[in-house]
Amino acid sequence: MKELSIDIRSVTAYRGGRRVLSGFSFQQEAGVHTAILGPNGSGKSTLLQLAACELYPVDMAESSLEVFGRRNWDVNLLRRRQGIISHDLQSHYLPGTRGLDVVLSGARASIGTWAHQEFSADEMSRAEVLMNELGLSGLRERRFGDLSTGEQRRFILARALFLDPELLLFDEPTSGLDLSAAFHYLKTLRRLMQREKTVLLVTHHVHEIPPEIGRVVHMKEGRIVADGPKETMLTAPLLSELFDVPLRVAAVEGWYQVFPGD
C-alpha cells in the first residue's frame, strides 16, 4: 500500500450538537483520485472537514485521525500539502476583497489579507502565474463580490494552489456554475490530476466526476455503503439504492450521467 494521505479510523464527529458520524473509517492513498458520492446530508462535507483538520472528532481510545501520517497539524503547515476548494470557503470572503488578495491569502492559509501584511516579490509573482494559468489576470483588481460564481471559484482554486499542495479537497466542484463555467473548471481539475495532484472530491452529482477519478465511495446516512473502482460503483442498481430513486446510467468516454429509471 502507498502512503496514506488520509487515515480516519473509528471516529465519531458532531456538527452543531448533532452526531453525524459514528465509528466511521476512511483511508485515502496518495495518488488515488477519489470521489465521495452520496445524497444530501449523508455526511460528505463532514468527512471533508475532518480530512482538512477543520473539524475534530470526539477524543476516544479507539479513534484516530491522521493526515499524511501525523495526528496534530499546524494548519499553516498542513496547507502546504493540502488545498481546500469549497463553496463554504468561497462564501466566507468579504465582497470588497480584491481578486489578487484572495489568491495571496493562500500564502498565509488565511481568509483575506490585512493592510499590515507584506508579500515578497516571489509571492507576488506566484499569484500572477496562478491568475494567468486560471484566466484570472484581467480580474485581479475586481471586488470578489462583483465576480460571477465561476470566477470566484477559480480565485478560490488559485488560493488553494498557492503553496503547491499535493492533495486537493473539492466540495461539489461545479455547484452553481453554468455549463461553460463547469466544463472549463472540470478541464482545469483534470489538468491538475494529470500533473500529479491527488484529488478527493465530494459530490451528489455523478456528472462532475472526471474520467481520471479511479475510486468512488458511496456514502449514506453517515456510513460508507460501497467503495470500489468507478466502473463498478457507477451502475444503475447501486446508484438507485444510494439515492433511493430508480435511475438509469449512461457513460461516455469516462464521464457518467444519470436519468430517471421509470
Ligand X SMILES: Nc1ncnc2c1ncn2[C@@H]1O[C@H](COP(=O)(O)OP(=O)(O)OP(=O)(O)O)[C@@H](O)[C@H]1O
Q: For ligand X, which residue of 7, 11, 33, 38 counts as binding (CB under 6 A)?
A: 38
Q: Would you count residue 218 as binding ligand X (CB under 6 A)?
A: no
Rounded Cα distance between 185 and 224, Å, is 28
Choosing from 40, 72, 120, 194, the residue that interacts with ligand X (CB under 6 A) is 40
Gap between the Cα atoms of 74 and 222, Å rounded: 27
Compare residues 15 and 80 and give the one whose CB is closer to ligand X: 15
CB of residue 170 to ligand X, shortest distance in Å: 12
Does position 99 interact with ligand X (CB under 6 A)? The reply is no
The single residue among 26, 33, 44, 233 that binds ligand X, judged by CB under 6 A, is: 44
Residue 42 engages ligand X in binding (rule: CB under 6 A):
yes
* From 43-51, 146-154, 160-168, 185-193, span contacting ligand X (CB under 6 A): 43-51
Binding to ligand X by residue 19, rule CB under 6 A?
A: no
Determine, following the binding rule CB under 6 A, whether residue 216 of this chain makes contact with ligand X: no
Residue 98 and residue 122: Cα distance in Å, rounded? 19
Size of the site for ligand X (CB under 6 A): 13
Beta-bridge mates of residue 131: none
Q: Which of residues 48-87 bind ligand X (CB under 6 A)?
A: none
Around Cβ 17, how many Cβ atoms within 10 Å?
5
Answer yes or no whether residue 43 interacts with ligand X by CB under 6 A.
yes
Identity of the residue, 20 or 242, whose beta carbon is nearer to ligand X in the bound complex: 20
The residue length of the chain stands at 262
Site for ligand X in 184-213 (CB under 6 A): 204
Say whether residue 15 binds ligand X (CB under 6 A). yes
C-alpha cell at 256: 457518467
The answer to the question of residue 41 lying near ligand X (CB under 6 A) is: yes
Instruction: Catalog residues that contact ligand X under the rule CB under 6 A.
Output: 15-16, 18, 20, 38, 40-46, 204
